């Protein structure tokens, strides 16, 4: 189990680095948006390519940042019942959700999005907009992001099992004392 925990912490490290790229994409999106607005209103020059790169970066922000959100346990959940659970009950609820909902759905999304990416790449599909960009880099974010979520989901499962076994202390609100 300790080897799996080491793998899990390696997955965490990778997703943190990729999450950093997502945060850089936020800055780039803001700069491109401001620059595009400035050029459009001051010089009356515009390009659909600049608008599309913002959309592509937004896809990167969402898809590459989602696994970090899961790692930080900041994802959306209904706390109506979960927040009232005591002891190890929240860990078991998390395990159930990760195993029976997150992983199957993310694996299905990787399976469904991969052929679309391959098709766009092979055909070198371009945007229909004048001055638009090639589409496959934006589509790449789907299988990549869902794949990263699968890896992070696996990491979270391993950490929770280790937590229940007393091997690992979680960085969340769980109340189990450090051993």
Residue keyed to tokens 């608008």: 51
Percentage of the chain lying above the pLDDT 90 cut: 73
Q: Give dist(CA 111, CA 119) in Å, integer.
A: 14
List all residues 6 or more positions away from 14 whose beta carbon is below 8 Å from its beta carbon. Answer: 151
pTM score of the predicted model:
0.87
Q: Give residue-wise pLDDT tens across range 155-170.
A: 999 999 999 998 877 6
Q: Are 1 and 167 in contact (CB under 8 A)?
A: yes
Span 59-69, mean pLDDT?
96
Q: Give residue-wise pLDDT tens across range 70-127.
A: 999 887 776 777 778 888 899 999 999 999 999 999 999 999 999 999 999 999 999 9
């Amino acid at each position: 189990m300790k080897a799996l925990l080491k793998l899990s912490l390696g997955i965490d490290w990778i997703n943190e680095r990729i999450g950093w790229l997502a945060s850089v994409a936020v800055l780039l999106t803001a700069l491109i948006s401001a620059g595009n607005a400035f050029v459009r209103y001051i010089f009356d020059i515009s390009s659909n390519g600049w608008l599309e790169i913002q959309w592509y970066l937004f896809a990167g922000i969402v898809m590459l940042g989602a696994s970090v959100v899961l790692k930080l346990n900041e994802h959306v959940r209904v706390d109506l019942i979960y927040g009232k659970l005591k002891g190890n009950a929240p860990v078991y609820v998390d395990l159930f959700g990760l195993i029976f909902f997150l992983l199957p759905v993310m694996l299905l999304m990787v399976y469904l999005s991969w052929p679309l990416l391959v098709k766009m790449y092979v055909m070198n599909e371009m945007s229909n907009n004048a001055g638009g960009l090639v589409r496959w880099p934006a589509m790449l974010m789907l299988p990549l992001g869902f794949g990263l979520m699968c890896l992070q989901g696996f990491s979270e499962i391993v950490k929770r099992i280790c937590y229940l076994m007393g091997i690992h202390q979680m960085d969340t609100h769980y109340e189990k004392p450090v051993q």
